[in-house]
Amino acid sequence: MTRLDGGCRQLAYSIVAALAIGCGPGTRASGGQQLAEQGPVAIAAIEGLLFYSDRGTFSENVIDNTSFRLWNIPVGAGSAQGRSTELLVRVTVKGPSETHGGRYRLHVRVVSGRFTLTDSTTIGILNREGEYFAGFWLRDVGCQTVSIDARLLERSREVSRVNKSIPFQCGE
């Protein structure tokens, strides 16, 4: 074991103390220089893409899309380009580029009429643009409003929440 003289020992204690209590993200290094701070990770968007079963393709985003008429979608009416009773919900999580999102968990709850879907996934590594995409597949949709509640948790603390709805309707 190497023995440190008094001056080196004091320097070592100072370094350990600084690491333990004072040099976390957002604190100032000596000389007043701001240390790099890792920005927040949050839900950036929720999109709803109809899956056209007679074509094998997807629609444009139907959430908050006032130009897309959501009437009788299962039979291909309204603004639909084909018949659809299935929906891909795509949730975009954004944060610092290439952040490892493993400590974040995305929880999604979808309610449509009598059915409720609850699902969750661990966020992987964000891409170079700082994005991670999670998909959730819904079946038997198209005639009743779909309500989506997405929550992003860091460990057990909620850090972001977004609610959206899709006002599907059917009739004669």
% of the chain with per-residue pLDDT over 90: 70
Dist. CA 73–CA 167, nearest whole Å? 11
Nearest of 159, 165, 161 to residue 151 by alpha carbon: 161
Per-residue pLDDT, 54 = 96
Contact predicate 25/35, CB 8 Å:
yes
pTM score of the predicted model: 0.75
Question: pLDDT digits over 49-100, tens only?
Answer: 999 999 999 999 999 999 999 999 999 999 999 999 999 999 999 999 988 8
Task: List the 157-166 sheet strands across, edge first.
Answer: 115-122, 104-112, 146-154, 157-166
Pick the range with the lowest mean pLDDT from 80-84, 85-89, 111-115, 126-130.
Answer: 111-115
Per-residue pLDDT, 19 = 30
Contact predicate 101/154, CB 8 Å:
no
Q: Residue 46 burial by CB count (10 A; 0-12/13-18/19+): exposed, middle or buried?
A: buried
pLDDT classification of 159: cutoffs 50, 70, 90: very high
Pick the range with the lowest mean pLDDT from 2-16, 93-107, 110-124, 145-159.
Answer: 2-16
Task: Break the chain into its structural domains and give their ranges.
Answer: 1-37, 42-166
Per-residue pLDDT, 115 = 87
User: How far, CA to CA in Å, does 165 sit from each of 55, 111, 141?
Assistant: 25, 9, 12
Relative to beta strand 104-112, strand 115-122 is antiparallel
Is 42-166 CATH 2.60.40.10?
A: yes
Question: pLDDT digits over 8-27, tens only?
Answer: 444 333 333 333 333 333 33
pLDDT classification of 39: cutoffs 50, 70, 90: low
